[in-house]
Amino acid sequence: MSGRVFALVLLITVVLISGVYFAFTYQPAVDESDDSSTETLEADTIPENKFKDIDLTVFNGDDSVSWQIKSSDISSFSQGELLKLSPLKLTAYDENDEVLYTITADYCNYRSALGEMEITGSVVMEKDELRMMTAHLDWDRDEELIRGSGGVSFTSPSYQLTGGRFQANTDFSQITVYKDEQERAALLWKEVGKGS
């Protein structure tokens, strides 16, 4: 009987020691081909590269407007397809390299493959004597439109206009301001050329 007890105690001891050993040394296999949301989340939260003092140029769909983007802090995600910039200084130029307007903001997310830009924070656009302030700007290269939301105000020496959101073409020569998100009222402001 004591031989059976000894064998049972020995078996239990071996099982316990093996369990402790595997608990500390076992690493589960990771499926590299799995496109889980956790990997996507990590790809957008852990930068692959960080840079300082970046100067980058982006063009609209027909190359009629270019944006010179400057930022003191830039992080690259998803093999460089998502760039996060902070703070942002953007200068827009026409085809003749004349300055159209400038935009400053706290943050910018630029998705290079999609041609999309999201600008947030204290967004300020200045064009001649016109100054626009909003909380959020979106640009899509395919649509050739800039959209602002989160409240917007336009001021110039002769007027002040406020609304809930707006949309403009890429050179800001045509701007539509909406009263609120439901589009109950709108004002169309169109720039006219000199001598008109």
pLDDT tens, position by position, 151-188: 898 988 888 888 898 999 888 888 888 887 665 545 55
Phi/psi of residue 183, each to 5°? Answer: 60, 40
Residue 46: C-alpha distances to residues 40, 43, 74 (Å): 10, 6, 13
Phi/psi of residue 46, each to 5°? Answer: -115, 110
Q: Tokens 């296999």 label which residue?
A: 29
Share of the chain above pLDDT 70, in %: 71
Q: What is the value of pTM for the model shown?
A: 0.66
Phi/psi of residue 164, each to 5°? Answer: -85, -35
Q: Averaged over 17-28, what is the pLDDT?
A: 62
Residue 118 corresponds to which tokens in the numbers above? Answer: 């999201």
What radius of gyration, in Å, describes the C-alpha atoms of the chain? Answer: 28
Reported as a pLDDT band with limits 50, 70 and 90, residue 193 is low
pLDDT in tens, 2-20: 777 777 777 777 776 766 6
